Amino acid sequence: MTVLRDIFTNEYVIFPLLIGILAQLYKFFYHFAREGRPDFQWLITTGGMPSSHSASVMSLSTLIGLRHGFDSPLFGLVLFFSLIIMYDAAGLRRAAGEQAAVINKMLEEFSVSHTIREERLRELLGHTPTEVLVGALAGIVASVIFVRIFP
């Protein structure tokens, strides 16, 4: 059981996970305040401002940089994978969401003249570069604050 205890008390697991959860909660409450009704999809959905993936991975990168040095191999490794994740969020997943929007539009137009079983695709898959940047900055700031509070 020490392995589980070690995992669940590891700041490099818990803190970035917490930052990602807080980013998702922000999206939920933002849309709740804006629309006047809760939409629980915002607790688990991808896309939207800020990017919880970016917040989490940059939180982890910053935490490792602050604890082990920004010149450490571990920081370089984690930062490299963080950048890939953020690129994917703003690139590949965003493109997939745009393709879903086009397919959904085609389904709408086709269903006017033909009968088809329509199952809409999820369009909000990725992030704009701004959403990724804001998420990354949130993760960096949160980690700097965390390390100052818990040296």
Structure tokens given for 143: 């980690």
Tell me: pLDDT of 115 over 70.
no
Q: Tally Cβ neighbours within 10 Å of residue 95.
A: 12
Q: Which is higher by pLDDT, 110 or 17?
A: 17
- Per-residue pLDDT, averaged over 26-55, amounts to 86
Every domain of the chain and the residues it spans = 2-91+126-149
Half-sphere exposure of 149 (CA within 13 A, CB side): 7
Tell me: pLDDT of 127 over 80.
no
- Per-residue pLDDT, averaged over 75-91, amounts to 89
> What pLDDT does 123 receive?
52
